[in-house]
Amino acid sequence: MFDGSYGGNRGCDPARSYSNIDEIIRNLEDDPTLYQDMKTYWASNKGDDNWFWSHEWIKHGTCVTTLEPHCYAEGNYTKHKEVGEYFRTALNLRSKYDIYAAFKDNDIVPNAKKTYPVQKMKQAILDKYGLEATFSCRGSRLQEITLWFRVRGRDRYVPTQPLRKDTCRNVRFLPKA
């Protein structure tokens, strides 16, 4: 089970630290729409989707122990299947716990000139989904919002308490470029 720690630049399983995630996702036969869904919902804000997705896979995906190839039933694993399952699950969780909807319900909208108290943003997520989130910032610029889960079995994600603290108090919630 992934405990919230990270395996550094090489991830938790260096043998599966793939650097060609863009190509892997594009060629998955089990999930032909995943690539376009990733381009729509999880594109890099710096323009290099492959680098970004590879980073996310190495840092997070390789640490999900239930996705290790030996965890699949005999005859049910195809090469890179775990990559597709990791990203599809992340997109499904994103849809189920739509942070933007929680913010919109509380009049929190992207705005380059306005700052929001993190506590207000956290409360919006808590009120809508019953989840405590962690906010990471660079200065006052929001970098990442983390929702915390424990994996039960192969694919049951159970909300849990955050394992890190917020790194900001007030943030600028910038519009997408």
Per DSSP, the residues of 15-30 read: GG--S-HHHHHHT-SS
Q: Specify the pTM.
A: 0.85
How confident is the model over 127-151, as pLDDT tens digits? Answer: 999 999 999 998 888 889 999 999 8
Task: Look at residue 19 in the predicted model and tell me its pLDDT.
Answer: 95
C-alpha dist (Å) from residue 61 to 53, 89, 106: 10, 11, 32
pLDDT over threshold 50, residue 3? no
How confident is the model over 40-64, as pLDDT tens digits? Answer: 999 998 889 999 999 999 999 999 9
pLDDT over threshold 70, residue 1? no
Task: Look at residue 153 in the predicted model and tell me its pLDDT.
Answer: 81
Residue ranges of domains in the chain, CATH in brackets: 1-96 (3.90.730.10), 98-177 (3.90.730.10)
Task: Look at residue 9 in the predicted model and tell me its pLDDT.
Answer: 64
Give the integer Cα–Cα distance in Å for 48 and 44.
Answer: 6
How confident is the model over 69-108, as pLDDT tens digits? Answer: 999 999 999 999 999 999 999 999 999 999 999 999 999 9
SS (H, E, C) 79-104: CCHHHHHHHHHHHHHHHHCCHHHHHH
Task: Look at residue 132 in the predicted model and tell me its pLDDT.
Answer: 96
Please report which confidence band the pLDDT of residue 8 belongs to, taking 50, 70 and 90 as the band edges. Answer: low
Please report which confidence band the pLDDT of residue 155 belongs to, taking 50, 70 and 90 as the band edges. Answer: confident
| 142: its two tokens | 């929001």
Give the integer Cα–Cα distance in Å for 14 and 103.
Answer: 37
